[in-house]
Structure 1
Amino acid sequence: MPFYRLFLMGFSLAALPLSSWSDEGAAGLAKQLANPVAALISVPLQLNYDENIGPADDGSRWTLNVQPVVPMEINSDWNLISRTILPVISQDDVISNESQFGIGDVVQSLFLSPKEPTESGWILGVGPAFLLKTGSEDALSAGKWGIGPTAVALKQDGGWTYGALANHIVSIAGDSDRADVDSTFLQPFLSYTTSSAVTYTINTESTYDWEGEQWNVPVNAVVSKVTKINNQLISVGAGVRYWAESTEQSPEGWGFRVIFTLLLPK
């Protein structure tokens, strides 16, 4: 299965002998990676495993989020940051006793962000977010097209990075027999980056469904490190997640996360 091959490949690469690289720039790159609107091209591959899904709590799901981040310079003062989330999903027993594998719906965000922080040190970004009806199966898609605002605000002080990213998406078109989308996403985050380019992060990726008046609140704790394989800069990380609040159709209890990120600094 593609998930497992990618999972093993990532750990095999991480286990290779690494070139000696103690440049202070590694810690700087790690701090940039903690900033959702940094002017840094990166391609995170985020693998999540969750279980206890569905009315009988016997479903499980692997989700590989392919999340390229591409900054584009508008002028000397502003950047436009493209953030894409493309989920590739493999799930068993989530719907009846069936299995599904395929692509889910893409969330595409664009952040207009000033290159310099505010006088008080805050880094800001604002723009539109789009829900794209790209699911390869009905069970992996909301069946709707959606749009709404997104924003991020964060501050970096020494090794600390803290702030929040949010969006609100409502459906504007799609399958008439599917429920409307009216959803708020909240991602407060706190991370600390050491001088050796190790980053400790805790966040939530909470979603509130205004139609169903229900919360999903996974809490994630991840450790990652920026390093080098030959001449390629990468970040590797892993951690756990706990579903503090979830709907009947969402995961419960514990899961885990593995992240492998290609870094392409200018």
Structure 2
Amino acid sequence: MSADTANSADYQHLLYEVDSDHICWLTLNRPEKINAMNKRLLAELREGLLRADKDDDVRVIVIRGSGKGFCAGHDLVEDANDVFKSIYHYRTHFFEQFDEFTTPWRITKPVIASVHKVAIGKGFELSLFCDITIVTSDTKMGYNEFRYGIAGHCMFLPWVVNMKTAKNIMLTGGEVTAHQAKEIGLITEVVEPDELHEATKRKAKLMAAIPPDIQRVHKMYLNRVYEMQGLKSATDYYLELVAITGHQTVPEYAQLMDMIKEHGLRAALDKAQERYKDLD
């Protein structure tokens, strides 16, 4: 791969490459955490996306994950150490992070999510507001953090699937398989694990062949269709609710954070999962 790596050293958790087919590959690079989103990775992903959007040599952007999975969601260990003085500070934090996190939606060039194995929580949401999502057949997706008393963040889900499906996913906190996700319209394409790179590259090359200005016009138009139907107002309302639940946490979330600090993340999640045993 012929890569633009001039500023790659500036990134701690992101790899930035531009190949000869005008495809920018942004790789989430915290493999030891299954690419869980911390503040640094979120900031670097935003910067990489904006950089690619301004680069005349880039026509399509791909977001993928290194290591064992695409993205295991939000970094709960980092969360356990956050302190917010008031509901206002918590609200400001969530609105700023929403603006940062939804950069793939707001930039003008098409973005493909190339997903393998794991897309949970923030990883799931990231896959939803990319323009195209290609997923390996062994991938699990969903909002299992709801079961721990953690709200979502960028609530695009009701705009992607029908009402009953959205309620089933959100009110059970259950995961869906890749084939289920394709059937209900959450993703674009399912491929076998060893085919992900080639399938992604094939789709990206096709999209890169279309005149760039036409791509930009149609992405902006299609996004505006949903925004005019109320997507932005609805997601803003959800953020207001998240600010309340974040500042006045539910008991289960408080217990989880205490467990993380005392026993570590894995033990805390195992303990929180006990009440759901044999219910799925």
Give the alignment's TM-score, normalised by structure 1.
0.26
Give the alignment's TM-score, normalised by structure 2.
0.25
Larger helix fraction of residues:
2
